[in-house]
Structure 1
Amino acid sequence: MKRNLSQCGIAAGVCALACACSGNACAAESLAATQAAVPAFLSAGGPDAHAVRCELVDDDVLAHQTGKYAGSDMISGFVLSVLSQWQLPNGASAVAQGALTVSQNTANQLSASVQTSARVTDPMPGGTSIGNSGATPNTSASGGQNVSVNGVSQITQVAGNGNVGSNAAIIDYRNALQIAGMAGANQTSAAASNANGTIKAGIAFGGNSINVTLQTPAGVATQNIVPGSAQQAGAIAQLLQVTGNNQQVANQLQLSLQTQQLNAQMIRQAGVLQALRNTR
C-alpha cells in the first residue's frame, strides 16, 4: 500500500507526529464540495433525491470509528529518508540527503543508524559562476520560513520564469526495509559549499529533529522535521523559495514502515478480533 502526498493537500504522520485540521470555515468548504459532488442520478426529481443529505461529523465521533489500520504492534521498523536537490542553469548543483533507520531484531530489540551526505558541484574555477546562475537580484521571496503549523506544511514561493520545483512526501508499507546506501554512515551531519560560499548544502540530525538546507544565489530550499511534545504537536515543513529563472528544485521525504509478516493463523485471529470489536 502506497500513498503519494504532494504540494499543499497532504496529511501524514512521521514518528508519532500529530497532524490536525480544524475550523468552521474549512468544514463549511468541505460540506459545500461534498454537496456539489452529488451524482446526476440523485439530483432533484429522482425517487431517492430527498434521502440524500450531508452532515458534518465531529472529530470525537470519527475517533470511535473502526476499520483497518496499521497498529503499533504491526510496525517492526522504519526508514525515514530526506532529500533536497537544486540544479542551476549553469551546471552548478547542490544536494543534501540523509536517512534514519530503525530496525527490530528477533529479540524485539531496537537499533538505529543514521546516514548523511552533502554535495556541491560548481563547473567554474573558483566558484565564480554566480553571473550565469539564473538568479535575479531584484526579486525576492520571503515569509514562508515564518509559517508555523501543527502537522505538515509545504510552501513554494517563486519569483522568476521557467522554474521547476516540487515538495513531495511519501508514506508506504514494506515487508523488508530498503536501507539507503550513501556516504557518511553513522554521521549525524554533513555540509558542503563551493569555493566562494555562494552555494551551500547541509543536513543535520540532532535535538530530536532533522534539518536540511540548500542555499544558492537563486534562493533556498529547506526541510524541517520536529517531533511532538507536551507543549505542541509535531511538524514537518518543506519550503522552496526561488528568486531566479530556469531553476530545478525538489524537496522529497519518504517514510517506509516495515510491517511484520503474518501467517494464516494470525491473519484469521486478527480478523476475528476486528469483527468482535466492530460489534461493540
Structure 2
Amino acid sequence: MKSHLNPLGLVLCAVACGASGAAHASDGAASPPTLELSVPHEPAGAALTVQVVGDDVLAAQTGKYAGAPMISGFVLNVISQWRLPNGVNALAQGTLSAARNPAGQMTSSVSTSASVTGGSHGHGGHPGDWGANPNAYANGGQSVSVNGVSQITQVAGDRNSGTNSALIDFSNSAMTPTPTAPANTPAAMASNSTGSVKAGISFGGNGVSVALQTPAGLATQTIAPSSGQIAQLLQIAGNNQQVANALQLHLQTQQMPAAMLRQLGVLQALQNRR
C-alpha cells in the first residue's frame, strides 16, 4: 500500500471489505438507527448481493483499483450515528468519489458533514438522561491491530443497540454521488455547547477517520492505506443507546469487450475438460 491517501490507494484498501456485525445488549433492545447511504443503482438492474468470504480467499486476491482495466471509478460513503436516550443525535458522514473526465484522467471529489442536534434538558438547563452508566466499562478495542478489516463491538449496559456494517457493490452504470456537503470539504467537526458530545470526520494524507464521542461511549471508523486497515469500533457504556457505523464502496466497472468474453469462454471450456 502507498503511504499517502489517493483514490487509487483508497480503493485498494477498501475493496477488501464486505461484512457486517451487530450487538444487542439485554432484552428489549431498540432497533439501530437507519442510515441512508445515497448511492444510485442501475434502475433496471437485478438486486445486488454480498457474499462474505474468509481470509484464505482474500489472501489470494490481487485486487483492482481506479484506473485499472476493470474499475473506472468509485464512490465511498462512510457514516456514523449515535442517538442518546435524551434525544441528542450525533452524526458524521462523508463521501469520496473518483471518475474519469473526458480527457481520460482520474478526478476526485470529497465532501463531509458533522452535527450534534436535539436533546432534552433537566432543571437549570443541564442535559437530561444521557443513559451513561458510571459503573459500566468498555475498553481495549482501540489497541486491536488487524491487517485487513476489523469490526469490534464492546457493550456494557442494558437495552443498547450497536451495528457495524461494510458493503461493496458493483455496477457498469454511470455514478452520480450525492454529496453530504459542498464539494472539496475534507473535514468537518461539531459538538454540543458543553463539549460532552462530539462528532468529527476527516479525509487526509493518512486516510479516513470518523469519531463520535458521547458520555456513554465511543464510535469510530478508520481507513488507513499505509497499513492496509479498515476498522470499525463501537464502545457503549450505558443504557438505551442506539449506535451504528456504516461504510459502503460502490465500484464502477467497464463493459467487458467481446474479445475478452471469447477468451474467458475458451478458458472455461479448457478448465471443464480437466
* TM-score in terms of structure 2 length: 0.72
Q: For residues 235-250 of structure 1, what are the structure 2 equivalents within 5 Å?
A: 235-250=229-244
Alignment RMSD (CA, Å): 2.8
Match of 2:261 in 1: 271
**Secondary structure of the corresponding residue to residue 16 of structure 1:** helix
Q: For 2:222 and 2:60, how far apart are their aligned partners in 1?
A: 29
Q: For residues 81-100 of structure 1, what are the structure 2 equivalents within 5 Å?
A: 81-100=77-96
Aligned pairs, number: 217
Q: For residues 131-280 of structure 1, what are the structure 2 equivalents within 5 Å?
A: 131-174=128-171, 175-228=173-226, 233-262=227-256, 266=257, 268-277=258-267, 279=270
Q: For 2:125 and 2:167, how far apart are their aligned partners in 1?
A: 35
Q: Work out which of the two has the higher radius of gyration on C-alpha atoms and give 1 or 2.
A: 1
Distance 1:271 1:261, change over 3 A: closer
Task: Give a deviation string over 1:241-272, Cα, whole Å, max 9, x none.
Answer: 0001111000000000011235xxx2x31222
Q: Unpaired segments of 5 or more residues in structure 1?
A: 1-12, 21-58
* TM-score in terms of structure 1 length: 0.70
Distance 1:94 1:178, change over 3 A: same
- How much has 1:16 moved relative to structure 2? 1.0
Q: For residues 36-185 of structure 1, what are the structure 2 equivalents within 5 Å?
A: 63=60, 72-124=68-120, 128-129=126-127, 131-174=128-171, 175-185=173-183
Contact 1:199–1:216 (8 Å) recurs in 2: yes
- How much has 1:127 moved relative to structure 2? 7.3
Q: For 1:83 and 1:107, how far apart are their aligned partners in 2?
A: 32
Match of 1:37 in 2: none
Match of 2:21 in 1: none
Q: For 1:169 and 1:249, how far apart are their aligned partners in 2?
A: 15
Distance 1:187 1:157, change over 3 A: same
Q: For 1:171 and 1:143, how far apart are their aligned partners in 2?
A: 28
- Higher mean alpha-carbon deviation, 205-214 vs 120-129, is at 120-129
Higher helix share: 1
Q: For 1:63 and 1:110, how far apart are their aligned partners in 2?
A: 27
Q: For residues 13-52 of structure 1, what are the structure 2 equivalents within 5 Å?
A: 15-17=11-13
Letter in 2 for 1:77: G
Contact 2:165–2:246 (8 Å) recurs in 1: yes
Distance 1:269 1:114, change over 3 A: same
Distance 1:150 1:103, change over 3 A: same
Q: For 2:238 and 2:176, how far apart are their aligned partners in 1?
A: 36
Letter in 2 for 1:132: D
Distance 1:127 1:75, change over 3 A: farther
Letter in 2 for 1:152: V
Q: For 2:125 and 2:208, how far apart are their aligned partners in 1?
A: 28
- How much has 1:178 moved relative to structure 2? 3.5
- How much has 1:276 moved relative to structure 2? 4.5
Q: Unpaired segments of 5 or more residues in structure 2?
A: 1-8, 18-55
**Secondary structure of the corresponding residue to residue 238 of structure 2:** coil
Contact 2:95–2:179 (8 Å) recurs in 1: no
Identity %: 54
Contact 1:201–1:213 (8 Å) recurs in 2: yes
